[in-house]
Chain A
Amino acid sequence: MSAWILAIVQTVLLLLLAPLLSGWVKWVKCKMQCRRGPAPWQPYRDLAKLMRKEVVLAEHASPLFRATPYLVFSVTALACSVVPAFTLGLPTAAMADVIVLVGFFALGRFFLSLAGMDIGTAFGGMGASREVTISSLAEPAMLLAIFTLSMTFASTNLNTMVHFTLTEPFQIHPSFIFSGLSLLLVATAECGRIPIDNPATHLELTMVHEAMILEYSGRHLALLEWASMLKMLIFGVLITNLFIPWGVAQTSGFIPCSVGALSMMAKLMGIGALLAVSESVLAKMRLFRAPEFLSLAFILSLLGMLSHVVLEVH
């Protein structure tokens, strides 16, 4: 029973932390660019404001348009409960392995793209078309990188994968370096960050994610924004815990869990700062350069896989 409570606690904690992470990234970015910038907790204020505002729907909106924000949010929230964030052995972690996790993101994206096309504006179709193009290249790269890890651990369960690294004596896998790099590239694409997409722009030639949600307002927009912050958080947790899992609690006691939560936050701050740095030094790519970026990720994954097969299997 206590394990189930812990699962709910983890989900709620990740839900609450998600806006802070994107606020933190924005704050670090502003500091790096010598700007004052908003406080890290500004996203909370934005979300609260959007929740209070009325919803304006386009006249042609179908029921699918109204259902999508709830669906995207609930699928992403469910994904939160599956990832081992600060403790192992959650009962929810067994119900979905890493392939299902990728499937959750794909399901959310499927509906979000449909919602983009629902109103019948050119922007929505543009965003949806670009989103599915980018994700159809990013998804295989991500799965291939993760498959390298799962072949090493002989498991696709995230719990087992993290547990394996925690308990085995430390060793450097060459394949992990390739996979880790690839996952970082994929994560920037999947979360719609620079250089693939820029969450801060509404320029029609460049926007992807923002084009799809252009017609949303009020609490619908709040849910979608929250879900995309949550997605970034999940990617952060996933990457850090797969490659540097130390700190994750192996028992469900209070103290190990608090240590786990603190170490998770520290890791997230680190990876958030890394993202801020890369966003400050890189410029957004032209849309048709994105395939090159993603095929780089794919080739890194492939190299990881091949180096695993050639070097590490006995």
Chain B
Amino acid sequence: MYLNLAHFGVLLALLAAVAPLPVRSINAGVRIAFALLGISGLTCAYAGGRVMLSGTSLDVVLPIGLPWLHSHQHLDPLGGFFLLLVGSVTAIVSLYGPNYLISNGADSASSHTLAVFTGLFIAGMYLVILAADAFSFMVAWELMSVASYFLVAHDHSQHENTRAAFIYLLMAQAGGLFILLGFGVLAGFGDNFTFSAMQSASLSPHWEHIAFGLAFIGFGMKAGIVPLHVWLPQAHPVAPSHISALMSGVMLKVAVYGFIRFCYDLVGTLHWQWGVIVLLAGCTSALLGVLYALMQHDLKRLLAYHSVENIGIIYMGLGLSFLFASNNLPALAALGLIAALYHCMNHALFKSLLFLGAGALIQQSGRHDLNHMGGLLRLMPITGICFLVGCISISALPPFNGFVSEWLTFQTALQGTVLESGVIKSMVAVAAAALALTGALAAACFVKVFGIAFLGQPRTEDMLSAREVSAGMKGSQVLLALSCLLLGIFPAPIINSMQAIPAALLGSGLKSIKTDTWLWLTPVSAHASSYAAPMVLFGICVAWLAAYGILHPRRRKIPVRFSPAWDCGFGPLEARTQYTASSFSQPIRRIFRPVWPIHENVTPATETAKGGRYSIHIGDWAWDKLYLPLGHLIQRSARIAARLQGGNIRTYLAYSFFTLIVMLWIVT
């Protein structure tokens, strides 16, 4: 029944793709499309949530697809969790979408293309989660990839946008190829393309390693682990903001879903080597992601690099889970998996929130660059407060949700002492340190983002025209901010309701989470570690009220006086004397100097141009060292191959002649 409901949601999303086409009025068309998307999101979220709670798994074979392979569909707790995630973010984003597009001044052609591809994109994501055979999976996966290519390329009047979209398409296709090969290995041994046949296939460890390697690269390319992340910072800044929210918040999670499904469910045996690889990839992605994010001053590109960081944190949890599972410790493996999944959900919420906030900011101020912003909190208070909540959550600060999942990951890593190998034990400990460094740097980065964009004085005139956005846009941000708080305050009941997922995949739930109370989060044992988020929030409130009550001015009759800020006696302060995004991160740039390829350009002051100029460009080593040489290599080999094509008909005839002779020789 719930599977049918999910299919109904898919149909609604497909309907949303075509419904606005016959509608004349742009506004009505956009509203209809997003209303349908919203309902489809709610339907799928409900279906997924109920299946996750009940812990059952549902199967159905649809009479579509290839003649010998009908489309197998499947919904189990893991799929239900991701369906819930995709559905709820879709529902909230569709609240934001209409007003955003209308006030962006969409014309009919662009709004139609957007509606069509948004519908297809979302339907593709649902279908990936529901697929239970490799064929349906790949069709849905490509639907998701290609539709999102058109969304990224939406504003194709500018060259750099088409370039970014092309890079995205290229990497998505390369990733898809790896996934296809991975499925091919499993299907070859299972003699069928259905997932159930793949599960029962018996592979030799070598083939298991090969299948894992293919899936790791394929899904990693979509998820954006370093060094396969380069499409993210290109594609996110050029896509419309609600699409960035969906791509970064949800589509990356679909890739994580595919990876989890492939390793835990289809291959089944988890090897310790995989744990090491995934953990290392997670650490690298988390650290490099946050370090690169710190150096960006384009708001959306910065957020894109933070997606790389958060995917890294998710992979750390998964890697730890692999390590424990390979050591026959299913309860701890379940803890790692839960930490990763909880971070998936948290990241979906706060990253969508931040992208929606960024969209509102960019729409109102007309600027992408943090260095041009400033002072927006006074002009856009609701957006500002919601954005602040997003910043606190992503910086992993208590009592918000990002902290809970990092805390769980720390707790998993600290159980590393039970592993056998000393090398892996110390690696797990170092991974915990890397996570701590990541968290601290992320906090530094979001102090920069919020402080530069919302606080201080406006750095350009454009900021002064910024106004608070419309109700739908505000409402979606408030909803996301509230859910960030909710997931931070009540982690225990939510994690309890996720128990069915590790139970189905690993055969074990968490060992000792208390089921009888909503207050305590005790993932290992009450003795070892405990966190009571409601009490923390309550304590902060009590202490705040006490301090405020004692010192409040009404009781003291001392008024607050306003005066200009301290200017050292040099006259009024200007907006240009403030720190900028680049100067804020300068100390960190200096400390971690070799991490980035930095091109600094200083033009000293001359008679004609007073003041001199300074410009800095931060590149990405992955481009310089991996992709550009690869591109050159391909071009060079193509050029060599092109020599065959002289354009001379006689040479071509000679080719045919010699080929014929060689063929005849082979045949005889």
Q: Which residues of chain A have a CB within 8 Å of any CB of chain B?
A: 51, 53-62, 64, 70-71, 73-75, 77-78, 81, 92, 94-97, 99-100, 103-104, 106-107, 109-110, 113-114, 116-126, 128-130, 132-133, 135-137, 139-140, 143-144, 147-148, 150-151, 154-157, 160, 214-215, 218-219, 222-223, 287-288, 291, 298, 301-302, 305-306, 309-310, 313
> Would you call A139 and B436 a contact (CB within 8 A)?
yes
- Total contacts A-B at CB 8 Å: 262
Query: Which of B395, B436, B542, B588 meets A133, CB within 8 Å?
Result: B588
The 7 closest A-B pairs by CB, nearest first: A125-B579, A74-B543, A117-B451, A120-B456, A132-B444, A136-B440, A95-B532
Q: A51-B551, A121-B566, A223-B547 are in contact. Are A302 and B433 (CB under 8 A)?
A: yes
Complexed CA–CA distance, A104 and B578 (Å)? 28
Q: A94-B530, A119-B565 are in contact. Are A128 and B451 (CB under 8 A)?
A: yes
> Would you call A155 and B528 a contact (CB within 8 A)?
yes
As a 0/1 sequence over residues 386 to 429 of chain B, the CB contacts with chain A under 8 angstroms (1 = contact) are 00100010011110000100010011011011000010011001
In the assembled complex, which residues on chain B have CB atoms less than 8 Å from the CB atom of A123? 566
In the assembled complex, which residues on chain A have CB atoms less than 8 Å from the CB atom of B485? none
In the assembled complex, which residues on chain B have CB atoms less than 8 Å from the CB atom of A214? 566
> Would you call B451 and A94 a contact (CB within 8 A)?
no
Query: Which of A121, A136, A144, A156 meets B588, CB within 8 Å?
Result: A136
Of residues A125, A287, A288, which shows the largest number of chain B Cβ atoms within 10 Å of its Cβ? A125
Of the listed stretches B87-95, B137-145, B253-261, B533-541, name the one at the interface; the rest are far from the partner chain.
Answer: B533-541
Nearest Cβ distance between residue A53 and chain B, in whole angstroms? Answer: 8
In the assembled complex, which residues on chain B have CB atoms less than 8 Å from the CB atom of A56? 560-563
> Would you call B414 and A156 a contact (CB within 8 A)?
yes
Of residues B526, B558, B565, B591, which shows the largest number of chain A Cβ atoms within 10 Å of its Cβ? B565
Complexed CA–CA distance, A10 and B527 (Å)? 22
> Would you call A58 and B544 a contact (CB within 8 A)?
no
In the assembled complex, which residues on chain B have CB atoms less than 8 Å from the CB atom of A125? 451, 456, 578-579, 583-584
- Given A147-B432, A156-B528, A160-B527, 17 other A-B residues pairs in contact with their CB atoms under 8 A: A62-B378, A62-B455, A92-B539, A97-B529, A100-B407, A103-B397, A107-B397, A119-B456, A120-B455, A137-B440, A143-B410, A144-B436, A160-B528, A215-B566, A218-B558, A222-B551, A288-B591
As a 0/1 sequence over residues 425 to 458 of chain B, the CB contacts with chain A under 8 angstroms (1 = contact) are 1100110111011011101101110111001110
As a 0/1 sequence over residues 575 to 598 of chain B, the CB contacts with chain A under 8 angstroms (1 = contact) are 101110001111110110000000
- Decide yes or no whether B559 CB sits under 8 A from chain A: yes
Q: A62-B378, A103-B396, A117-B455 are in contact. Are A78 and B564 (CB under 8 A)?
A: no
Chain B stretch 540-576: residues in CB contact (< 8 A) with chain A: 540-544, 546-548, 551, 553, 558-567, 573, 575
Q: A99-B407, A120-B575 are in contact. Are A154 and B430 (CB under 8 A)?
A: no
Q: A54-B560, A95-B539, A128-B584 are in contact. Are A144 and B429 (CB under 8 A)?
A: yes
Query: Which of A140, A154, A157 meets B436, CB within 8 Å?
Result: A140
Q: A120-B578, A302-B433 are in contact. Are A151 and B564 (CB under 8 A)?
A: no
Chain A to chain B contacts (Cβ below 8 Å), 10 pairs: A57-B561, A78-B539, A78-B543, A100-B536, A116-B451, A128-B451, A129-B448, A133-B591, A155-B529, A313-B422
Complexed CA–CA distance, A117 and B454 (Å)? 10
> Would you call B441 and A73 a contact (CB within 8 A)?
no
Say whether chain A's binding surface is mostly helix, strand, loop, or mixed.
helix
- Identify the closest chain B residue to A288 (Cβ): B590
Nearest Cβ distance between residue B591 and chain A, in whole angstroms? Answer: 5
> Would you call A110 and B443 a contact (CB within 8 A)?
yes
> Would you call B532 and A291 a contact (CB within 8 A)?
no
Query: Which of B398, B429, B541, B590 meets A107, CB within 8 Å?
Result: B398
Query: Which of B429, B456, B536, B591 meets A78, CB within 8 Å?
Result: B536
- Decide yes or no whether B252 CB sits under 8 A from chain A: no
Of residues A71, A126, A140, A310, which shows the largest number of chain B Cβ atoms within 10 Å of its Cβ? A140
Complexed CA–CA distance, A270 and B403 (Å)? 35
- Decide yes or no whether B531 CB sits under 8 A from chain A: yes
- Decide yes or no whether B375 CB sits under 8 A from chain A: yes
Of residues A116, A122, A129, which shows the largest number of chain B Cβ atoms within 10 Å of its Cβ? A129
- Decide yes or no whether B374 CB sits under 8 A from chain A: yes
> Would you call A95 and B530 a contact (CB within 8 A)?
yes
Nearest Cβ distance between residue B512 and chain A, in whole angstroms? Answer: 13
In the assembled complex, which residues on chain A have CB atoms less than 8 Å from the CB atom of B416? 151
Q: A144-B433, A309-B425 are in contact. Are A64 and B543 (CB under 8 A)?
A: no
Complexed CA–CA distance, A214 and B566 (Å)? 8
In the assembled complex, which residues on chain A have CB atoms less than 8 Å from the CB atom of B450? 114
Q: A59-B565, A77-B543 are in contact. Are A103 and B398 (CB under 8 A)?
A: yes
Q: A126-B579, A144-B432, A144-B436 are in contact. Are A55 and B531 (CB under 8 A)?
A: no
